[in-house]
């Protein structure tokens, strides 16, 4: 699952002690694949054209290892040689890796989103492939699990957006949909300029409620995954919910300060992870829900 974490690439958990040892190499390979592509899209002083050229070369190397041929030497040792092993041993779906690259390319050319549907389509490629790749490694493929994974991954991506206004603003990116901005009488430039106001806080509160609803929709997946995977997912879910709690505690002033998870949050996350229990389904629902 993606994770709101202290790692530089927010949408991928590193292979923690909860990850079975046999799966640590492919998880690490996937992390470095996503991390490097994210750096190409965001880090340094490259121009948009240079970033697009680098991502195109990166895609060519991905397609080379998928086809069983030799990639260029540029990223071979750290990224594509380990990824080739993971592809061969675990038969990872190449389209999910392509989807991640599509999202990184989009970040170089698109800075605004018209509505929630358009932003969800971005999340479908920027976040959801991570969860599906990890479920593939755990050999979990049933449709309900995939749908819940998508809900959690999208929620985590959205939480990262609402956490990162102070980072995305200087980059010229507004992830709050235009329809939400209009409903609160705001313009995207006000977010870019980090202009805090009651209207901006009301907007962020609505966006956080949207992310929380998605998280709770996907949370029952923690009871579907076996052993260590389920426990790691509990911590991932609680990490996202903890960021939402911090945003609420600061009265949604995310244009002034970026909330972060710190070492002192660990006991709270662990306790809440241990406390997650299935609930009986509501009337008309066929599957149990999960306490937060």
Neighbours of 226 (CB within 10 A): 11
From residue 25, give the alpha-carbon distance in Å to each of 68, 80, 291.
19, 13, 33
Helices and strands of the chain, counted as H and E runs: 13, 2
From residue 128, give the alpha-carbon distance in Å to each of 67, 136, 156, 186, 239.
24, 12, 10, 29, 17
Q: How far apart are CA 70 and CA 67, in angstroms?
A: 9
Q: How far apart are CA 114 and CA 165, in angstroms?
A: 18
Q: Where are the domains of the chain?
A: 21-290
Residue 247: which of 158, 168, 124 has the closest Cα?
Answer: 158
- From first to last of its 292 residues, what are the pLDDT tens digits of the chain? 444 333 444 544 433 556 788 888 999 999 999 999 999 998 888 999 999 999 999 999 999 999 999 999 999 999 999 999 999 999 999 999 999 999 999 999 999 999 999 999 999 999 999 999 999 999 999 999 999 999 999 999 999 999 999 999 988 999 999 999 999 999 999 999 999 999 999 999 999 999 999 999 999 999 988 788 888 899 999 999 999 999 999 999 999 999 998 889 889 988 988 888 876 555 555 555 666 6
Q: Are 164 and 145 in contact (CB under 8 A)?
A: no
From residue 23, give the alpha-carbon distance in Å to each of 17, 19, 90, 118, 185.
11, 7, 10, 34, 48
Query: Does 21-290 carry CATH code 1.10.600.10?
Result: yes
**DSSP-assigned letter for residue 45:** S
């Amino acid at each position: 699952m993606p994770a709101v974490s202290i790692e530089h690439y927010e949408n991928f958990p590193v292979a923690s002690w909860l990850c079975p040892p046999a799966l640590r190499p492919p998880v690490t390979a996937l992390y470095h694949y996503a991390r490097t592509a994210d750096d190409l899209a965001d880090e340094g002083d490259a121009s948009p054209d240079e970033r697009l050229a680098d991502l195109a070369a990166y895609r060519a190397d991905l397609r080379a290892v998928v086809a069983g041929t030799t990639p260029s030497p540029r990223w071979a040792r750290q990224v594509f040689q380990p990824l080739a092993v993971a592809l061969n041993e675990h038969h990872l779906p190449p389209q999910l890796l392509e989807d991640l690259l599509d999202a990184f390319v989009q970040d170089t050319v698109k800075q605004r989103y018209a509505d929630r549907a358009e932003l969800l389509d971005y999340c479908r490629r920027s976040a959801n492939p991570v969860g599906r790749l990890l479920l593939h490694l755990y050999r979990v493929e049933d449709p309900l699990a995939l749908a819940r994974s998508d809900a959690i991954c999208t929620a985590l991506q959205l939480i990262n957006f609402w956490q990162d206004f102070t980072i995305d603003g200087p980059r010229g990116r507004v992830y709050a949909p235009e329809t939400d901005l209009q409903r609160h009488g705001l313009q995207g430039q006000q977010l870019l300029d980090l202009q805090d106001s009651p209207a901006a806080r009301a907007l962020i509160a609505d966006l956080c409620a949207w992310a929380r609803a998605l998280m709770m929709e996907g949370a029952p997946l923690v009871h579907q995954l076996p052993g260590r995977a389920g426990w790691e997912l509990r911590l991932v879910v609680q990490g996202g919910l903890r960021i939402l709690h911090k945003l609420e505690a600061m009265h949604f002033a995310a244009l002034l300060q970026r909330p972060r998870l710190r070492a002192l949050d660990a006991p709270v996350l662990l306790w809440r992870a241990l406390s997650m229990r299935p609930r009986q389904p509501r009337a008309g629902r066929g599957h149990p829900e999960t306490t937060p």
